[in-house]
Amino acid sequence: MFKLKNQIQNYAWGSKTSISELFGIENPTNEPQAEIWMGAHSGGCSRNVENDDLLSDIIELNKSDVLGSYTENCFGELPYLFKVLAAHTPLSIQVHPNRWKAQLGFVRENEQGIELSDPIRNYKDPNHKPELVYALTPYKAMNGFRPIEQIICLFDEIAIDELKEEVSLLRQEPNSTGLERFFNSVMMLSEKRKSKMLTQLEEAYHKPVTGIVREAVEYSQAFKVYYKGDIGLLSPFIFNVVELAPGEAMFLFAETPHAYIQGTALEVMASSDNVLRAGLTQKHIDIPELIDNVMFKSMAPENLKMQPIIKEGRYEYPIPVDDFGFDILYAEEYNKEQYIRSAEILFCIDDSVVVSSLDKAIELSPGESIFVPYYTRKYTYRGKGRIARVYN
């Protein structure tokens, strides 16, 4: 068991202040601190604080003891990547393929000889990328298609003349097929029609609307500041907008369009980098590939937030995939015991906690994390505040 030294990613959309305010991680160069990566991913591998060894090397040297034979046999690597994510400006709307499509796509693009570093490459690895988000500050996002009747109602309210035909077709066929056709035609609009449509959308910003229409209009206007002329300005009328309060969580399923808009959160995902984009981006959008990877199914807004199962003071989030599990542990003044079944990463969210194994006790402050190899088998924790626990 050892403390981790983690890499910070300075992506342009990141907040310059949130991570340093929450966790006291200094930012002397005033760069955006977008993400802290905890895990063994080659794009930003954590290190053992004590000797600077790479976590990936530590795992590679002794896989069955460090990961346990279950993880070694099923995944062959640490199956998850754990992040702190601090978004100041909206990230692209994206969809992640399911595992089967990821495998096929990865092989196909290898055969086509498209380099991994090529900007048109869609499949960077053969894995799916389900994600969990646990908000640390108020957190805005979009997740999944709105109920179809809501989409129709929103478009009726903003009444964009250029899309009259598309909306009317959706009304005639308010099901998965109709939704696919609607989404496809919106994404495929010619440049001329798109710019006409966006002009009409901007005019619609000034209509006296209320409730969810107002909310969608405000999101669209906020996107326009960074993504003028982008088809993603329509997205808040098509996708659910979600605002998580600190301590609330949601799950992002494969084949479900989503976007992170603003706020700081913990994010856990399967170890993958497969992203298909659908707007709010200057990057490449491959529409046929995107459509092929989208499930045209609405998500009920009331089911977007996850309900944890509370067990002995531990909040366990019901994750529908086997790549990772996520709990929030509440430390108390006395020692609580935790048995483990895989390698774990623990992250201290607030206050101060002491995590102990047979031979060691490590004190953690907010923003600090430790790696617990499988062979540790059991640890105890005490103190104040919350620990986020990731395992598989």
Binding map of Zn ion across residues 84-123, x = CB under 5 A, - = no contact: ----------x-----------------------------
Cβ 220 to Zn ion shortest distance, Å: 20
Cβ 59 to Zn ion shortest distance, Å: 25
Nearest to 214 by CA among 161, 257, 140, 158: 158
Q: Alpha-carbon distance 51 to 54, whole Å?
A: 9
**Angle made by CA atoms 212, 218, 222, in degrees to the nearest 5:** 145
The count of C-alpha atoms lying within 13 angstroms of the C-alpha of 97, restricted to the half-sphere facing its C-beta, is 24
Nearest to 265 by CA among 91, 100, 147: 91
**Closer by beta carbon to Zn ion, 123 or else 374:** 123
**Closer by beta carbon to Zn ion, 142 or else 160:** 142
What residues are annotated to the active site? 277
Kindly state the number of chain residues that form the binding site for Zn ion, as judged by CB under 5 A. Answer: 1
Contact (CB, 8 A) for 87 and 264:
yes
Cβ 269 to Zn ion shortest distance, Å: 7
Cβ 275 to Zn ion shortest distance, Å: 7
**Closer by beta carbon to Zn ion, 260 or else 374:** 260
Ramachandran angles phi, psi of 336, nearest 5°? -105, 140
**Closer by beta carbon to Zn ion, 94 or else 357:** 94
Structure tokens at 241: 């907008």
Residue with the closest Cβ to Zn ion? 94
Note the maximum CA span of the chain: 70
Q: Alpha-carbon distance 276 to 363, whole Å?
A: 40
Q: Alpha-carbon distance 16 to 27, whole Å?
A: 8
Cβ 259 to Zn ion shortest distance, Å: 8
Contact (CB, 8 A) for 315 and 327:
yes
**Closer by beta carbon to Zn ion, 198 or else 252:** 252
* Near Zn ion in 314-373, by CB under 5 A: none
Ramachandran angles phi, psi of 104, nearest 5°? -60, -45
Task: List contacts with Zn ion (CB under 5 A).
Answer: 94
